[in-house]
Chain A
Amino acid sequence: AQSVSQHNHHVILSEAASLELGCNYSYGGTVNLFWYVQYPGQHLQLLLKYFSGDPLVKGIKGFEAEFIKSKFSFNLRKPSVQWSDTAEYFCAVERQLTFGSGTQLTVLP
């Protein structure tokens, strides 16, 4: 069975700080990988996805993620966070999405 691990449960940053959220998955085959974001009181929205090709994928709002097959990782990054990035971030794998436990990001103004 596939599983997804997000190591950071709660991350607190100041505005303009750089962000990296870890995501590791356990699945030996070809994978489709996703990051979803859930802003306070809202539903999940797709941030970015990786299906194939360039392992560095760019998403909305300046987010990017790098797929490293050898490390089974798909970490999310942003060079400079904003207060409006405060949200919960979920890494997910495959069609029948297996979600990580989520990382709550709080950006202090």
Chain B
Amino acid sequence: DAGVIQSPRHEVTEMGQEVTLRCKPISGHDYLFWYRQTMMRGLELLIYFNNNVPIDDSGMPEDRFSAKMPNASFSTLKIQPSEPRDSAVYFCASSHTGAGGNIQYFGAGTRLSVL
């Protein structure tokens, strides 16, 4: 398996623009997580899904952020409108239930810069 795939790897945009980050989890995994990493706040869980259903979105900073998982192999994190303080590295991770589960496998991340 190719692992968790995120795109784009880097995104530079201007304040006010819409940004969409994409994630393809590992096939067969039933959990998907979105994290944000900044120097100031470290690694923060934004939202996670189980079987494509959002379970906990309490980490989503505000209404400008939204996440969807239309099927088991794809998820998006959207920021509209984007602001400079949204600049961070966004990681997607997936895991599966069962023996040997609970281990999260991370994607390479999307480095977002909002000017």
Contact = CB atoms under 8 A, between A and B. Distances in A.
Interface residues of B, number: 18
Contacts of A45: 106
Contact of A95 (B31, B91, B105, B108): B31
Contacts of B95: 95
A27 B75 CA distance: 31
Chief secondary structure at chain B's binding surface? strand
Given A43-B91, A95-B31, A102 B42 contact: yes
A102 B43 contact: yes
Contacts of B91: 43-44
Contacts of B108: 42-43
B43 A90 contact: yes
A99 B102 contact: no
Contact of A96 (B42, B43, B48): B48
A82 interface: no
Interface residues of A, number: 19
Interface string B32-44: 0100000000110
Contact of B103 (A34, A90, A96, A98): A34
A46 B103 contact: yes
Interface in A1-52: 32, 34, 36, 42-46, 49, 51
A95 B102 CA distance: 5
A97 interface: yes
A51 B102 CA distance: 9
A95 B42 CA distance: 19
Contacts of B43: 44, 90, 99, 102
B109 interface: yes
B103 A99 contact: no
Central interface residue in A44, A49, A99, by most chain B CB within 10 Å: A44
9 contacts: A43-B107, A43-B109, A44-B91, A44-B104, A90-B43, A94-B102, A96-B48, A98-B45, A101-B42
Interface of B: 31, 33, 42-43, 45, 48, 56, 91, 93, 95, 102-109
